[in-house]
Amino acid sequence: MSNSSNFTIGKINKMVCPPDKQQVIYWDSNNSGYFGIRVTQSQVKSFIIQTRLNKQTIRKTIGNVNQLTIKDALEIAQTKLLEIKKGNDPRIADEQAIAKIQIDKAKSKNGLLVWDEYIKWGKVRGKRGNQPWGSRHAQEHENMVRIGGKVLSRGVRTGQSKIQANGVLYDLLNQPLKEITRDKVEQWLESYLDRPATARLGLALLNAFFTWLSNHKEYKNAIHLDACSKLLINIPASKPRKDSLQKQQLKVWFDHINRGKNKVTKAYLQILVLSGARRNELATLKWENIDLVWYEGVIKDKWSGTRAFSITPYMAKLLQDLPKENEYVFFSPTSKSGYLEEPRYALESANRNAGIPHLTIHGLRRTFKNMSEWVETPVGIASQIMGHEPSGTAEKHYTDRPIDLLRLWHTKIEKFILDEAGIVQPTLDELKEQRILRLVK
């Protein structure tokens, strides 16, 4: 069949693309060669228009031959040809129209759905595109948009409702992106000013979310870029928590912790005080990362990913006595993760029975730092044990303390705490003997 003829339905039906070609174009002889039909190797047929603009050939698809009549396609082709003669490129107009549709679609997308996309991105890529979020950071984001209504049976603070409320950002994000304006963010923020720490965290996560949106090709033109910028100054400064155990409280606290029934939780809470580790760093510790022969291990770290830590004698005793139920040292048969996630009930119960004022999980970390002062531990050593970010040029680039030096001071801190608690620190020989007996059994 000739590649130039007067188009009819019959002729269109006979048009084919040879198997040795990617595509072939048939031209309508009655319309000066600008109106044609392209047939691809898969035998898909489409009306096209071809002409020149600014010394360049322009070819544009009009539509499928099964969706347009020859007459309708020719009318569209003639209209586009007139636009091209005026100097307008139809390809640009079509791209702009498509972009507008995509922007409108993004603007109308519910913020909660996009937040979920953001969490998935963070778990895979995260900071700088190559540092995935930690499990606790990801959980913070998920908690921000949780649906309330669940009846809480554990971890309820004194005076707190047992009915779980919606996440802090749930109501704000449960609307189209285009409707999350600065005014609405300010209204949301005002409702949380009586809880400055919560407001600060929520705004920080929201601001990071909008930064991500502003760099996302699909959403950058769908948001109000100023929605949450420079609002931090509106939040009252939150008073830093100072809760920790005092030296004279150590004995009664350890006594009541050790009266608990759950061996894993008891060990976990005591080791928090004795190690100064962060809550989730210790909770996610795995058996494969501890060595009870050389008394050292590797733990997650907020700043460098992981850090080496020393295992002191009493910590080693507690760890040796724990059963190995799964990969995690502090396993939990009820949590989805497999490790201990909610130790607050045991802590608050022990605090209440011991007559100790409100003490948080993080307060146990502060306790370690305060106790290190009693044995005059060098600040840099205490900070390295606790996993604080190195400060100063010397700490960052020159100081590399061996694990043996950390263990020396760490053991002194532990002994001071145990002496005040009325607990005898075991010797290495005793630990070795216990380990042998366990192997024999």
Catalytically annotated residues: 278, 300, 362, 365, 388, 398
Closest CA to 371 of 247, 240, 241: 247
From CA 397, how far away is CA 389, in angstroms rounded? 12
Answer yes or no: are the C-beta atoms of 247 and 371 closer than 8 Å: yes
Q: Which residue has the tokens 């322009």?
A: 58
Answer yes or no: are the C-beta atoms of 203 and 209 closer than 8 Å: no
3-class SS string, the chain: CCCEECCCHHHHHHCCCCCCCCEEEEEEHHHCCCEEEEEECCCCEEEEEEEEECCEEEEEEEEECCCCCHHHHHHHHHHHHHHHHCCCCHHHHHHHHHHHHHHHHHHCCEHHHHHHHHHHHHHHCEECCCECCCHHHHHHHHHHCCCCCCECCCCCCCCCCCECCCCCCHHHHCCEHHHCCHHHHHHHHHCCCCCHHHHHHHHHHHHHHHHHHHCCCCCCCCCCCCCCCCCHHHCCCCCCCCCCCCHHHHHHHHHHHCCCCCHHHHHHHHHHHHHCCCHHHHHCCEHHHEECCCCEEEEEECCCEEEEEECCHHHHHHHHCCCCCCCECCECCCCCCCECCCCHHHHHHHHHHHCCCCCCHHHHHHHHHHHHHHCCCCHHHHHHHHCCCCCCHHHHHHCCCCHHHHHHHHHHHHHHHHHHHCCCCCCHHHHHHHHHHHHHC
Angle between helices 250-257 and 403-421 (to 10 degrees): 90
Q: Which residue has the tokens 């963010």?
A: 185
Answer yes or no: are the C-beta atoms of 431 and 313 closer than 8 Å: yes
Answer yes or no: are the C-beta atoms of 25 and 38 closer than 8 Å: yes
From CA 147, how far away is CA 177, in angstroms rounded? 19
